[in-house]
C-alpha cells in the first residue's frame, strides 16, 4: 500500500548548514496491516508522514502510495493522493465553526460524493466511533477523546485504503487509548493499511504489531511482535 | 529493510471513489461529479453571502468604498453624456457663411450657388441675395428705422454653405478653398465655439477614462485586501480542506464568490448613488434649462448602464479575489503538528 525506496530528506537553511531528516529509508506497508512507527522526537517520524501526505517532497528516493509513484504527481494531483489517505492528527485539526456532522462530511463533499450518499456514510462513520448521537453538536463541546474520534471518523469516512495517525493517543488516558486502538485494529482487519506514529512505548508494548523505529533519520529496527493480543 | 514476511491479506477496502464497472455507471459517476460541482458552487455562493451578512458593519464599509469609487466616474460619465446630448443638435447646424464681393452680379451669384450645390463636399448651398439679407436683418434686428435712413443696402450677398462633412478638418479645408475663389470676400465659419466645446467634452471624456481606470484599480485593490484578510481569518479551515484532499479550485471558490458579491453590491450601490445625485441636481437643472427656453431634461444612468455597472463591478471583484487568492493561498500550506 505504501512503499518507500531509499527515501532521503535533507533540509537546507541558508547560513545554517543542512540536516538530514531521513536517510535512505526503505519500507513496505501492506494492506490490512497495522504498523507502529516510533522514535524520539526529531527522529524523522513527522518528516516521513509529511512525505507520504505530500506536504513535502523527498530529496531522493521514491515513494509509492496505493500504486501511485509520488515523484510523478504534480501539484494539481496532490489532492487526489490525499483523498486515498485518511490522516488522524495529534491536534485533531477539526473546524469549530461547524457541527460534528459537517466536519466528518467534509472529505465527502470535497471528493464530490452524491449528497444522498453523504448522509449515510457520515452516520456510518460516526456510528463506528460511537458518536452518532452527537452529530449536531459543535466539536468544541466535546471532550479530547471524543474530538479524537471525530478526527478518526473524518479520516475513514471515504474509506481510504490507507490510514495514518500521528500520536493518536497523545493526551488520552489508557482506557480511551485502548478504545482508539481497537478502532484502528478494526480498520486493519477490513484491509486498510494503518500506520500509527507514536512514542507511547506502553501503548506499543500492549499491542504487539509490527514496529518500525527511526533514529536520526534512519530506520534502525523493523520487527514483528508476535504473541498474544492480535 | 523492505519486508514481506507476512503474507498479504486480501485487500478489501472500498475504493475512494465509487466503483465503475461499466460505461453506464461511469456516465452516472460523471453526472454525480457534475452535480457535486454545481452544488458546491451554489453552497460557496450562499456561504459567501452569509459570511458577509454576519459582519454587516465591515461589509457595509467595504461595499461603500467600492460604491463611491465607482459612482465618481459613473456620475461624471452621465454628466458628459448629458453635455453631449445638449450639444449634439448644434453640430448639425455647422455651416459657412460665404460673403460675396460687391461686384458679383446677381446672375453670377445664382450660378455660383448652383455650382457649389453640385460639389461633393457641399451638401446644400443657399443663396441669400442682398435684398433677402436686408429683409431678414430688418425683421430680426429691430433696426428697421435705421435701415430706412440708409441711402443704400449696406449688406453683401451671401451663400450659406452646409458642408457634407462637419468634422473640423473638412470644415477648415472647405473654408480655405472657398476663400480662395475670386468672387468670395470672406468665408466665415460659425461653429468654432461648438467645436471647441466638443473638443473639451472629448478631453473630459479622456480624463474620465483615465479616472475610471485608476478607480477600477482601486476597487480591485480594496477587494484584494478584503479577501486577503478573509484568507487569513480562515487559515485553519483552508489547511484542513487541503489536508483532506481539497483541490485549489475547491479552496478558491468561496473567496471568488466573496469578491464577486462585494463588487456586485458596490456596483448596485454606485448606481443608486448616481441616481440619487441626479434627482438632487434635477430640479435646479430644470429651472436653468427653462431660463434658456430649452426643454432639455437630464438623462439618467439608463437601464442598460444600470445593469452594466454592477456586472462590471462584480467582474472587478472577481478579478481582485482571484489575485488575492493566487497570491496568498499558497502561503497557507498544511503543516503537521
What CATH number should be reported for the domain holding residue A200? 3.40.50.300
Confidence of residue B10 (pLDDT cuts 50, 70, 90): very low
Q: What is the mean pLDDT of residues B28-49?
A: 86
Helix, strand counts (H, E) of chain B:
10, 4
CB contact under 8 A, A224 and B9: no
Q: Has residue A48 been placed in a domain?
A: yes
Taking the C-alpha atoms of residue B209 and residue B206, their distance in angstroms, rounded to an integer, is 5
Q: Are residues A3 and A25 in the same domain?
A: yes
Secondary structure of B124-159 in the HEC alphabet?
Answer: EEEEECHHHHHHHHHHHHCCHHHHHHCCCCCCCCEE
CB contact under 8 A, A26 and B4: no
Q: Crossing angle of helices B56-92/B303-328, nearest 10°?
A: 130
> Which among B11, B241, B333 has the least Cβ separation from residue A106?
B241
When comparing pLDDT for B153 and B269, which is higher?
A: B269
Q: Are residues A44 and A61 in the same domain?
A: yes
Q: Has residue A89 been placed in a domain?
A: no
When comparing pLDDT for A202 and B190, which is higher?
A: A202
> Residue B90: enclosing H or E segment and its boundaries?
helix B56-92
Mean pLDDT (chain A, rounded): 89
Chain B residues closer than 8 Å to A90 by CB:
336-337
Q: Are residues A110 and A80 in the same domain?
A: no
Structural domain boundaries in chain B: 41-89+196-331, 94-190
Which of the given ranges, B74-83, B170-179, B264-273, has the highest pLDDT on average?
Answer: B264-273
pTM of the model: 0.73
Answer with the one of A120, A142, A157 that is the final residue of a domain. Answer: A157
CA A161-A163-A165 angle, to 5 degrees, is 175
A27 and B1 Cβ atoms separated by less than 8 Å: yes
pLDDT digits (tens, 9 = 90+) for A97-132: 999 999 999 999 998 888 888 999 999 999 989 999
Q: Are residues A168 and A138 in the same domain?
A: no
Percent of chain B with pLDDT over 90: 33
pLDDT of residue B295: 67
CATH topology of domain B94-190: Alpha-Beta Plaits (3.30.70)
Taking the C-alpha atoms of residue B306 and residue B314, their distance in angstroms, rounded to an integer, is 13
Q: Are residues A149 and A71 in the same domain?
A: no
CB contact under 8 A, A112 and B37: yes
C-alpha cell at A104: 466528518
- Say how many C-beta atoms besides its own lie within 10 A of residue B78's C-beta: 20
A37 contact B CB<8A: no
CA-atom Rg of chain A in angstroms: 18
Taking the C-alpha atoms of residue B178 and residue B122, their distance in angstroms, rounded to an integer, is 11
Residue whose C-alpha cell reads 448602464 in the numeric block: B305
C-alpha cell at B286: 430644470
A193-197 and B96-100 beta bridge pairing: unpaired
When comparing pLDDT for A158 and B166, which is higher?
A: A158
- Supply the DSSP symbol for A228: S
Judged against a pLDDT cut of 80, whether residue B320 lies above it is answered with yes
CB contact under 8 A, A79 and B15: no
Percent of chain B with pLDDT over 70: 87
How many domains, chain A? 2
CB contact under 8 A, B244 and A219: no
Chain B residues closer than 8 Å to A159 by CB:
13-16
Start-to-end CA span in chain A (Å): 21
Q: Which domain holds residue A7?
A: 1-12+20-84+160-230
pLDDT digits (tens, 9 = 90+) for B125-145: 888 888 888 888 877 777 777
Q: Are residues A67 and A134 in the same domain?
A: no
Q: Has residue A90 been placed in a domain?
A: no
Count Cα neighbours of A18 within 13 Å in the Cβ-side half-sphere. Answer: 9
Put simply, the chain A residues between 173 and 212 with a CB less than 8 A from any chain B CB are 190-192
CB contact under 8 A, B240 and A191: no
Q: Are residues A68 and A177 in the same domain?
A: yes
Taking the C-alpha atoms of residue B225 and residue B229, their distance in angstroms, rounded to an integer, is 6
Q: Are residues A76 and A179 in the same domain?
A: yes
Residue of A nearest to B233 (CA): A97
Query: Between the CA of residue B49 and those of A43, B120, B254, B255, B293, what are the distances in Å?
Result: 47, 63, 9, 11, 51
Q: DSSP readout, B173-239?
A: HHHHHHHHSTTEEEEEES-HHHHHHHHHHHHHHHHHHHHHHHHHHHHHHHHHHHHHHHHHHTHHHHH
Q: What is the mean pLDDT of residues B298-323?
A: 90
> Which among B2, B3, B16 has the least Cβ separation from residue A160?
B16
B149 contact A CB<8A: no
Taking the C-alpha atoms of residue A196 and residue A183, their distance in angstroms, rounded to an integer, is 12
CA-atom Rg of chain B in angstroms: 36
Burial of B237-251, coded b for 16+ CB within 10 Å and e otherwise, reads bbbbbbbbbbbbebb
B59 and B269 Cβ atoms separated by less than 8 Å: no
Q: Is A98 helix (H, G, I), strand (E, B) or coil?
A: coil
- Partners of A2 in the β-ladder: A29, A65
pLDDT digits (tens, 9 = 90+) for B159-173: 888 888 777 778 888
When comparing pLDDT for A154 and B15, which is higher?
A: A154
Q: What is the mean pLDDT of residues A57-74?
A: 92
Query: How near does any CA of chain A get to the CA of B47, in Å?
Result: 12
Choosing among B7, B17, B244, B252, which should be mutated to test the A contact, i.e. which has the most A CBs within 10 A?
B244
Size of interface A-B (CB pairs under 8 A): 128
Q: Are residues A69 and A171 in the same domain?
A: yes
CB contact under 8 A, B12 and A154: no
Residues in chain A: 230
Q: Are residues A78 and A144 in the same domain?
A: no
Start-to-end CA span in chain B (Å): 28
A31 and B9 Cβ atoms separated by less than 8 Å: yes
Judged against a pLDDT cut of 50, whether residue A70 lies above it is answered with yes
What is the sign, positive or negative, of the torsion defined by CA atoms of A114, A116, A120, A123? positive
Q: Are residues A139 and A78 in the same domain?
A: no
- Supply the DSSP symbol for A25: E
Q: Are residues A150 and A106 in the same domain?
A: yes
Taking the C-alpha atoms of residue B253 and residue B48, their distance in angstroms, rounded to an integer, is 9
Query: How near does any CA of chain A get to the CA of B300, in Å?
Result: 46
What is the sign, positive or negative, of the torsion defined by CA atoms of B34, B40, B46, B48? negative
Answer with the one of A126, A157, A188 that is the final residue of a domain. Answer: A157
Put simply, the chain A residues between 88 and 107 with a CB less than 8 A from any chain B CB are 89-91, 93-95, 97, 106-107
Q: Has residue A228 been placed in a domain?
A: yes
Outline where DSSP puts E strands in B17-131. 96-100, 122-128
Taking the C-alpha atoms of residue A162 and residue A82, their distance in angstroms, rounded to an integer, is 10
pLDDT of residue B154: 80
Amino acid at each position: 500500500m505504501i512503499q518507500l525506496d531509499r527515501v532521503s530528506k535533507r533540509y537546507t537553511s541558508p547560513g545554517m548548514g543542512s540536516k538530514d531528516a531521513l536517510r535512505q529509508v526503505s519500507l513496505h506497508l501492506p494492506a490490512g496491516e497495522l504498523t507502529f512507527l516510533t522514535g524520539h522526537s526529531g527522529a524523522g517520524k513527522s518528516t516521513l508522514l509529511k512525505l507520504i501526505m505530500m506536504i513535502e517532497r523527498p530529496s531522493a528516493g521514491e515513494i509509492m502510495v496505493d500504486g501511485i509513484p509520488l515523484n510523478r504527481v504534480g501539484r494539481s494531483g496532490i489532492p487526489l493522493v490525499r483523498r486515498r489517505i485518511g490522516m488522524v492528527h495529534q491536534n485533531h485539526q477539526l473546524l469549530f465553526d461547524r457541527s460534528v456532522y459537517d466536519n466528518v462530511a467534509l472529505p465527502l463533499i470535497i471528493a464530490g460524493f452524491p449528497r444522498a450518499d453523504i448522509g449515510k456514510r457520515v452516520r456510518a462513520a460516526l456510528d463506528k466511533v460511537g458518536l452518532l448521537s452527537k452529530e449536531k453538536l459543535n466539536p468544541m463541546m466535546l471532550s479530547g477523546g471524543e474530538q479524537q474520534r471525530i478526527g478518526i471518523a473524518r479520516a475513514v469516512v471515504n474509506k481510504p485504503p490507507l490510514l495514518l495517525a500521528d500520536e493518536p493517543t497523545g493526551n488520552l488516558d489508557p482506557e480511551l487509548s485502548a478504545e482508539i486502538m481497537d478502532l484502528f485494529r478494526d480498520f486493519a482487519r477490513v484491509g486498510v493499511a494503518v500506520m500509527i506514529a507514536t512514542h507511547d512505548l506502553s501503548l506499543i508494548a500492549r499491542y504487539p504489531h509490527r514496529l518500525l523505529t527511526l533514529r536520526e533519520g534512519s530506520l534502525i529496527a523493523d520487527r514483528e511482535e508476535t504473541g498474544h493480543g492480535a | 529493510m523492505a519486508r514481506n514476511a507476512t503474507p498479504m491479506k486480501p485487500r478489501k477496502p472500498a475504493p475512494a471513489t465509487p466503483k465503475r464497472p461499466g460505461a453506464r455507471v461511469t456516465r452516472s459517476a460523471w453526472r454525480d461529479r457534475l452535480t457535486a460541482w454545481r452544488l458546491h458552487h451554489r453552497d460557496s455562493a450562499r456561504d459567501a453571502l452569509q459570511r458577509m451578512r454576519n459582519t454587516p458593519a465591515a461589509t457595509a464599509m467595504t461595499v461603500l468604498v467600492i460604491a463611491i469609487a465607482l459612482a465618481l466616474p459613473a456620475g461624471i460619465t452621465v454628466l458628459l453624456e448629458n453635455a453631449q446630448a445638449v450639444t449634439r443638435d448644434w453640430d448639425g447646424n455647422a455651416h459657412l457663411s460665404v460673403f460675396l464681393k460687391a461686384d458679383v452680379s446677381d446672375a453670377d451669384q445664382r450660378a455660383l450657388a448652383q455650382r457649389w450645390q453640385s460639389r461633393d463636399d457641399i451638401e446644400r448651398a443657399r443663396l441669400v441675395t442682398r435684398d433677402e439679407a436686408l429683409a431678414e436683418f430688418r425683421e430680426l434686428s429691430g433696426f428697421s428705422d435705421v435701415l430706412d435712413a440708409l441711402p443704400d443696402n449696406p449688406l453683401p450677398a451671401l451663400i450659406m454653405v452646409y458642408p457634407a462633412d462637419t468634422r473640423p478638418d473638412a470644415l477648415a479645408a472647405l473654408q480655405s478653398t472657398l476663400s480662395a475663389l475670386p468672387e468670395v470676400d470672406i468665408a466665415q465659419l460659425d461653429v468654432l465655439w461648438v467645436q471647441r466645446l466638443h473638443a473639451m467634452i472629448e478631453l473630459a471624456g479622456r480624463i474620465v477614462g483615465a479616472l475610471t481606470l485608476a478607480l477600477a484599480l482601486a476597487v480591485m485593490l480594496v477587494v484584494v485586501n478584503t479577501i486577503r484578510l478573509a484568507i487569513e481569518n480562515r487559515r485553519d479551515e483552508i489547511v484542513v480542506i487541503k489536508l483532506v484532499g481539497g483541490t485549489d479550485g475547491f479552496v478558491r471558490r468561496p473567496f471568488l464568490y466573496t469578491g464577486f458579491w462585494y463588487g456586485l453590491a458596490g456596483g448596485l450601490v454606485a448606481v443608486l448613488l448616481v441616481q440619487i445625485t441626479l434627482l438632487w441636481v434635477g430640479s435646479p437643472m430644470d429651472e436653468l434649462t427653462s431660463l434658456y427656453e430649452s426643454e432639455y431634461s437630464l438623462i439618467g444612468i439608463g437601464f442598460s448602464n444600470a445593469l452594466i455597472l454592477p456586472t462590471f463591478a462584480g467582474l472587478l471583484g472577481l478579478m481582485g479575489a482571484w489575485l488575492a487568492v493566487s497570491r496568498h493561498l499558497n502561503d497557507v500550506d498544511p503543516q503537521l503538528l
